[in-house]
Amino acid sequence: MVIDDILKELSMQKKDGVYFGPAGGYWSNLNREDNERFLKELPLLGSKKTVEKYFPEHFDVIFSPKRAGGLPLLNSGSGELIVDVGCMWGALTIPLARTGCNVVAIDQTLESILLLKQRLMEDNLPNVDVVCADLKKIGFKGSSVDKFVINGVLEWIPESGVIELKKYYGKRQGAEKKYDKSDPYDLQLKFLKGIYNGLKPDGSLYLAIENRYDIFNFFGMPDPHCSLRFITFLPRFLQNMVSKVFLGRPYINWTYSAGGLKKLLKEAGFCDAKISYAFPDYRSPEQILSKAGMGYYRPCKFRRAKNIFIKVVCYVIEDILFRRLKLTAFAPSFVVLAKR
Amino acid sequence: MEIIRNCSHHGSTIAAIRLDDMNKAFRITKMAFNEDGASSIMREYDGISWYEKKLNVNNSAIVSFAHRGKAYASLELAYKDGQCGDLSRSVEGNHARIKNALKHHVDIFETSSSCFNHGDYSFENVVFDGDDVLWVIDWEHFTDLLPKGFDLAYCIMEACYFCLKRRGRLTKKDIAAAKDLINYAETKSGMKLIDKNSPATFILNLIADNQAVFGRQVHKYPFFNSSRKDIDLLDKILK
Ligand SMILES: C[S@@+](CC[C@H](N)C(=O)[O-])C[C@H]1O[C@@H](n2cnc3c(N)ncnc32)[C@H](O)[C@@H]1O
């Protein structure tokens, strides 16, 4: 049992193949009612058919191999122990498991985990242990894990309570009022320190997160975390003021510049954080380039924007900023590989 | 890894490139985490292994290969440094290089014992040093299920197609060059490769008839995706 070897909590209850630790909040692209209906049919129809039936718009997020584009950086091998923190539907858990690693996938949201469980069963991947727990309430035993994966989770750590992204995203009133009252930086730092302690001496961390200074934020692209525009790049005190006016709470989904991220990781103990830049974002990257690789940049072909005018404008901006000027400071997202 | 290209060309493989101190590519790793992609990579491995045996090289380009079940594979290769064929140039401008690519192909493939095709013998997949062929890349369509000589006909017709699409026309010299290439390939290989009355339609039909061989990637083949108008025009020009 891998779980006992890496988690401090020994009293975990196991039920239907899922380990339960201290409970946390809820975070999902789906409302809880939708999730409930979905989960009822899941065992009957299987994962692909149920997803197609209930939320085809998320089919790609769940099944597209594109999301795992950054994994060559991690260079994981058979037999390694990898922890996917905030695994959600397992977009990275499943590819990792396929390489033959032992994976521990942790998330607070049971609904997401149940879809992951179903997929693991369908794909016949017994080398994954699934844990439902609040990441802020569990601890890792010292030096036990080869690699950690944090894909789009760090910025959510300061939250607590219920986040139903569908209600929340794009609607100012929808934002959850509840949040962790501690300083976001301290919460993220504490979380990363926990990860650091769990790593073997030669272990590494794969971390993907949005860039606070993503060029498109300056053009009014809403922050995907709180859905406000023109906020990510403001100084922290201004972020708080704006967020208090519109959402009635401070700004807590802290993202960083490359320098800020390096500093945070360094403070958590990591040395040697190598930053790569993901285009058009880390969620479905088409290209991930290091600074040295920027000479090979090509403006992205696929974008979510439907409007042809917006597509062209984005193309031109990217061409100038990234291909010609190689200004990585404004890249959309970071993928960081940090060594212990 | 300094460069990662993810799932381009409708594929599901990831290509990761490592640079040396001079910022020049020196290793390429292909990786896939699903059945589609993994089978491409396994085929590519088979293709390169076969190619190297035919070439009789002692220094294999394959650095490492791993797969697990059907849904994961990874192949690390030495990066072959040279210039790939450039399809934005005219057929006439490319004539010497294409001819060498055809010769290389006949030398490697068209032996009596071989029933293989590269499957995507695009001019862009041939790496040159000057006009000489250095290496052939992208073997993920390597197969014994296509008719012998498919690669040769495809290579020539693709060059004509892109010349038409990207430059808007084929000049008299381009047409003469294309005809010379077809004659050359047929003489050299000793096979009849193409229906000279409607060569573009001929290729389109070959691809369509063998769709199963190409799988989902069939859409990446320009003929398969092009309008009837372009095909007819190309037929008319080359007749
Ligand atoms: C954007 S999703 C991550 C997606 C996933 N890693 C992927 O690549 O597809 C954020 C996930 O983090 C989880 N999460 C956020 N805060 C958490 C916490 N304190 N404890 C456990 N899970 C948390 C949420 O439940 C959610 O599933």
A80: which 2 tokens? Answer: 């390694």
pLDDT band at A73 (very low <50, low <70, confident <90, very high): very high
In this predicted structure, the answer to whether residue A245 has a pLDDT above a threshold of 60 is yes
Question: Average pLDDT of chain A?
Answer: 92
* Closest residue by CA, ligand 1 atom 3: A152
What is the mean predicted confidence (pLDDT) over A296-305? 78
Check CB contact of A289 with chain B, cutoff 8 Å: yes
Q: Is A132 in the pocket of ligand 1 (CB under 6 A)?
A: no
Sign of CA dihedral B188, B193, B198, B202: negative
For residue A175, the model assigns a pLDDT of 57
Note the helical H segments in chain A: 2-6, 32-45, 47-54, 59-63, 71-74, 93-98, 110-122, 165-168, 184-198, 215-218, 236-247, 258-268, 308-318
Q: What is the 3-state secondary structure (H, E, C) of B66-109?
A: EEECCCEEEEEEECCCCEECCCCCCHHHHHHHHHHHHHHHHHHH
Ligand 1, residues A9, A107, A110: which to mutate, most atoms within 8 A of Cβ? Answer: A107
Going from the Cα of A41 to the center of ligand 1, the distance in angstroms, rounded, reads: 24
Query: Of A67-71, A94-98, B96-100, B214-218, which gets the smallest average pLDDT?
Result: B214-218
Q: How far apart are CA B5 and CA B8, in angstroms?
A: 7
* Closest residue by CA, ligand 1 atom 10: A153
Q: What angle do CA B36, B110, B158 make, to 5 degrees?
A: 60
Nearest to B5 among A65, A276, A287 (CB): A287
For residue A152, the model assigns a pLDDT of 97
Task: Say whether A295 and B23 touch across the interface (CB within 8 A).
Answer: yes
Q: How far apart are CA B161 and CA B209, in angstroms?
A: 20
What is the mean predicted confidence (pLDDT) over A34-46? 95
Which one-letter amino acid corresponds to residue B199? P
Contacts of B139 (CB under 8 A, 6+ apart): B43, B44, B46, B47, B48, B51, B118, B119
What is the mean predicted confidence (pLDDT) over A37-44? 95
In this predicted structure, the answer to whether residue A148 has a pLDDT above a threshold of 90 is yes
Q: Is A115 in the pocket of ligand 1 (CB under 6 A)?
A: no
pLDDT band at A9 (very low <50, low <70, confident <90, very high): confident
Q: What's this model's pTM, rounded to 2 decimal places?
A: 0.93
Task: Say whether B31 and A71 touch across the interface (CB within 8 A).
Answer: yes
For residue A311, the model assigns a pLDDT of 86
For residue A293, the model assigns a pLDDT of 95
Which portions of chain B are predicted below pLDDT 50? none
The ipTM of this complex is 0.91
pLDDT band at A135 (very low <50, low <70, confident <90, very high): very high
In this predicted structure, the answer to whether residue A290 has a pLDDT above a threshold of 70 is yes
Backbone angles phi, psi at B49, to 5 degrees: -60, -45
Task: Say whether B12 and A292 touch across the interface (CB within 8 A).
Answer: no
In this predicted structure, the answer to whether residue A171 has a pLDDT above a threshold of 60 is no
Going from the Cα of A208 to the center of ligand 1, the distance in angstroms, rounded, reads: 12
Chain A from 251 to 280: CB within 8 A of any B CB: 276
A264: which 2 tokens? Answer: 């945070």
Residues facing A336 on adjacent strands:
A207, A275
pLDDT band at A169 (very low <50, low <70, confident <90, very high): low
Task: Say whether B7 and A95 touch across the interface (CB within 8 A).
Answer: no
Q: Is A27 in the pocket of ligand 1 (CB under 6 A)?
A: yes
For residue A60, the model assigns a pLDDT of 86
* Closest residue by CA, ligand 1 atom 15: A156
For residue A308, the model assigns a pLDDT of 86
Q: 């190297």: which residue's tokens?
A: B52
Pairing state of beta strands B25-32 and B126-129?
unpaired
In this predicted structure, the answer to whether residue A173 has a pLDDT above a threshold of 80 is no
Taken in order of first residue, the domains within chain A and their CATH numbers are 2-297+330-339 (3.40.50.150)
